[in-house]
Copies of this chain bind each other. A is one copy, B any other.
Amino acid sequence: MPHNIAILGASGYTGAELVRLIATHPTFQIKALSGDRKAGQPMSSVYPHLRHMDLPDLARIEDIDFAGIDLVFCALPHATSQAVIAELPERLKVVDLSADFRLRDPQAYAAWYGKAHGAPALQREAVYGLTEFYRDQIRSARLVAGTGCNAATGQFALRPLISAGAIDLDHIVMDLKAASSGAGRSLKEHLLASEMSENIKAYSVGGTHRHLGEFDQEFSAIAGREVRVQFTPHLIPATRGIVLSCYLQGDPGTAFDVMSQAYADEPFIKVLPMGEMPQMKDVRASNFCHIGVAGDRVAGRVTVIAALDNLTKGSSGQAIQNANLMLGEDETLGLMAAPVYP
């Protein structure tokens, strides 16, 4: 059965990625695209790579007729999203890709995002969109909050280990390498090719990255106590992808067993053989996440490394995975394209 889809904020990278993935989705049909600053333009002038598709022109949100729409992907900037979603018809299913509904605690939201939430009722209703761990709630949700791309990576790497009590919760170090598309199509000096080429730089140093709010919320919930990881992201000279290296204290064999069992039946999460490590390029432009586990010459140390594509599994692919569930489709529908290599 076809489902009619609208994408709000289609002129950003996650919006374009949604369109790319839906291009070959068998039951989703794009009926409306919004892009306020580019309203009136054909999508192919903003993203010429979509030139072959028959797409509606970019419109202003207020000009979209939501009557026949079944589900809305909201790829708008943080803060804008909550205001827009609050105004949408209540019957509409919504997958939000912004940060607006990721944190359940109003105080945590205010602390990380610098102001009170503008739609607290929706915040209470929203289901956290990490599909593999919130599958049942997502199936019946009206509003699903897409996770941060870094937050998704870190949770795939650590949730089973924390749940199983397999690692020391007080010594979790996470070093993340993120490609540039995670910062969006925004005009910032440090995102210029001349600046990023041949470069690596840490950012949000000292526990200041907003995705830490998600780690705090999720890890503490499953641990039953406060967990505060030590986390630094780095911007690297690549377009798509995240590689996260976690330095942990625990038994490597146990860790590997826990991870293997946790993801044994997951279609998109692949645990590599013990000691093998994933590489960023092996999941590019796909909805897969690869995870490796290794021991160390010093007993009691474990390294877990996870890789995914921030725009796909970390954002728009996850969103479609959730939308599939919300619309009664098979979770993997339209998402089984193999990674692009080399």
Contact = CB atoms under 8 A, between A and B. Distances in A.
B239 A19 contact: no
Interface in A253-297: 267-268, 270, 272, 275, 277-286, 288, 290, 292, 294-297
Interface stretch (A43-51, A100-108, A119-127, A217-225): A43-51
A86 interface: no
Contacts of A4: none
Contacts of A208: 297
A338 B20 CA distance: 5
Contacts of A305: 202, 205
B245 A230 contact: no
A303 interface: yes
Interface string A233-262: 010111111010101000000000000000
Interface stretch (A77-85, A128-136, A173-181): A173-181
A192 B200 contact: no
Contact of A171 (B171, B194, B272): B171
A91 interface: no
A200 B294 contact: no
Contacts of A24: 24, 336-338
The 3 closest A-B pairs by CB, nearest first: A207-B297, A201-B279, A175-B175
Interface of A: 13, 16, 19-20, 23-24, 47-53, 171, 173, 175, 177, 179-181, 183, 185, 187-189, 191-203, 205-208, 212, 228, 230, 232, 234, 236-241, 243, 245, 247, 267-268, 270, 272, 275, 277-286, 288, 290, 292, 294-298, 301, 303, 305, 307, 336-342
